[in-house]
Amino acid sequence: MISILIAVAIAFVISLFATPVAIRVLRDRNIGQFIQQELEGHYHKRGTPTMGGVVIIVAVVVGFTLAHIRVWEWGVGLNLRVLAFPGQGLLALMALVGMGLIGFLDDYAKHARKQNMGLSKRWKFLGQLVVAVLFAWGAVALDTSTELSFTRGIGIDLGPWLYALLVLFLLTGAANAVNFTDGLDGLVAGSAGLVFGAYVLIAFWQYRNLNFYKVDGAQDLAMLAGAVVGAVLGFLWWNAAPARIIMGDTGSQAIGGALAAMALLTNTQLLLIPLGGLYVMEAVSVILQIFTFRVWGKRIFKIAPIHHHFEMKGWPETTIIIRFWILAGLGVAIGVGVFYADFLIKTTGGLP
């Protein structure tokens, strides 16, 4: 538990104090946000420093790493030592950094072209494919369960090849879903704090009940999730409306990659649907918009993703953000509740 708290605290402090430095550096280099023409209410955000996700990634890496260093032990005193780094935590960190790198290249391409179009879909998918292949290879090498799972395995073993496809689907799906959601100040940072907070609880509970869940490296996964919580909350201090900095694809891709990694390595892939319910809703709104337009020639929403639909209906931005945070919190509550209820039913025979 102490290691988790250290990871949270260090990542929060780094993100909180490094973000204003990043704002000055990005502003000096004229690295700012480009706005969709349809969103007239966003014109005031034009030029707001972007690529802030770099701060989140650095804060997570440093917080997660330093949480493994011990300089003092109760009853012993000064005792410098480094805790082991289980492969699962490093694999999740690789997913975060790898997907964040793809997002960084996308953001940089937008800056270089001076427009809201970054990497082509082909190059972005190729990068995500490379990360997914490396992740799947590492997961199988670490004997991670290839069984499809909800709160635990449901008896369907995918095998290494279908598991690799699941990894690709979750990594690209989560990254794109979080990216769709990243359109309002603080929406992703605040909701990600809630979702990764849930994964701190889930991974720590698995660590405390290893005989029941059989998830290797669960404590390190809890530490990584804690580092993400600290990093996004520190960033949210500056990203809350009106945002002084935007995380960009660098941040949203990294958060999505880490989210998929947590679901895969804690064997809770299907539980990600309620836990990340907000992101699922945003992604589904885009899919429905495309489907209805291509089939019937009509758009079901004024604009997609759905948070922009409510903007065009006249809802204030802060109202949408807060209500969507509430939806994210409800999804997290349902997911954590189902996870714990399953544990009680299997260990005690029923709910209290």
Model pLDDT for residues 320-340, shown as the tens digit of each residue: 999 999 999 999 999 999 999
User: In sequence order, what are the residues at sequence separation of 6 or more whose Cβ sits closer than 8 angstroms to the Cβ of residue 305?
Assistant: 180, 181, 183, 282, 283, 285, 286
Whether the pLDDT of residue 300 is over 80: the answer is: yes
- ∠ at Cα 136 (135, 142), nearest 5°? 90
Whether the pLDDT of residue 39 is over 90: the answer is: no
Contact 22, 251 (CB under 8 A): no
Whether the pLDDT of residue 45 is over 70: the answer is: no
122 pLDDT band, cuts 50/70/90, is confident
Q: What is the pLDDT of residue 109?
A: 84
Stronger pLDDT, 92 or 46, i.e. the higher one: 92
Q: Which amino acid is at 93?
A: L
Which DSSP string do the residues of 287-344 spell out, in sequence order?
HHHHHHHHHHS--SSSSSSHHHHHHHTT--HHHHHHHHHHHHHHHHHHHHHHHHHHHH
Q: What is the pLDDT of residue 74?
A: 67
69 pLDDT band, cuts 50/70/90, is confident
**78, β-bridge pairs:** 72
Domain residues of the chain, as ranges?
Answer: 2-348
User: Once rounded to an integer, what is the mean pLDDT over residues 167-192?
Assistant: 93
CA distance 312 to 295: 24
- Joined together, the tokens standing for residue 271 give 């539980």
* Sign of the alpha-carbon torsion through 196, 197, 199, 203: positive
Mean pLDDT over all residues of the chain? 89
- Joined together, the tokens standing for residue 22 give 């990043």
- Joined together, the tokens standing for residue 187 give 């929406």
Whether the pLDDT of residue 130 is over 80: the answer is: yes
Model pLDDT for residues 2-11, shown as the tens digit of each residue: 889 999 999 9
Whether the pLDDT of residue 28 is over 50: the answer is: yes
Question: What pairing do the DSSP bridges indicate for beta strands 147-149 and 77-82?
Answer: unpaired
Nearest to 108 by CA among 96, 95, 123: 123
Which run of H or of E encompasses 232? helix 218-239
Pure H helices in 114-208: 121-141, 159-181, 187-208
CA distance 20 to 55: 10
Burial of 159 (0-12, 13-18, 19+ CB in 10 A): exposed
Whether the pLDDT of residue 43 is over 50: the answer is: no
Q: What is the pLDDT of residue 83?
A: 81
Q: What is the pLDDT of residue 32?
A: 64
Whether the pLDDT of residue 35 is over 70: the answer is: no
Tell me the percentage of the chain whose pLDDT exceeds 70: 91
Rg (CA), the chain: 20
User: Once rounded to an integer, what is the mean pLDDT over residues 306-329?
Assistant: 92
Whether the pLDDT of residue 16 is over 50: the answer is: yes
Locate tokens 């998918």: which residue? Answer: 125
- φ, ψ at 177 (rounded to 5°): -65, -45
User: Once rounded to an integer, what is the mean pLDDT over residues 288-317?
Assistant: 88
User: Once rounded to an integer, what is the mean pLDDT over residues 47-71?
Assistant: 91
Whether the pLDDT of residue 207 is over 80: the answer is: yes
